[in-house]
Amino acid sequence: MKCMGVLGLGLILLTACGKKSDSSSAASGLSAGFAANCASCHGADASGGSVGRPLPGKVGTLANFSSIVRNGRGEMPLVKVDKYSDADLQADYNVLK
């Protein structure tokens, strides 16, 4: 019974962490697409995370940014348009450039 309580608490904490990331991304002007696909590596506000580098001011041109997102690069996996729309990608570029 004690294990179930600990497990339940762990699940609640994990859920709360995920929600914080989404609201932080939204607060920084980044899209839900960014929160779902990029924030886990680059941070909710794109300032860098455990794996991904900081993005603000370092995304290059829209064509370059789009190419890296859609094709991946190095350790970064590609993100398809059905997971991160072109509209979200362009809106996030405008925030990050």
| Distance separating alpha carbons of residues 39 and 26, to the nearest angstrom | 11
Expressed as residue numbers, the domain containing 16 is 2-96
Number of compact structural domains in the chain = 1
Question: Could you tell me the CA-to-CA distances from 89 to 13, 31, 35, 84 in Å, in that order?
Answer: 29, 8, 11, 7
45 CB contacts (<8 Å, ≥6 apart)?
Answer: 24, 25, 27, 28, 30
Q: pLDDT per residue over 37-84, tens digit each?
A: 999 999 999 999 989 999 999 999 999 999 999 999 999 999 999 999
Calculate ∠ Cα 49-50-54, nearest 5°.
30
Read off the CATH number of the domain in which 86 is found.
1.10.760
Q: Is 77:85 a contact under the CB 8 Å cutoff?
A: no
Q: Is 0.75 topped by the overall pTM?
A: no
Residue 34: name the closest of 69, 64, 62 by CA: 69
Q: pLDDT per residue over 13-38, tens digit each?
A: 333 333 344 456 666 899 999 999 99
Is the C-alpha dihedral spanning 45, 88, 29, 10 positive or negative? Answer: negative
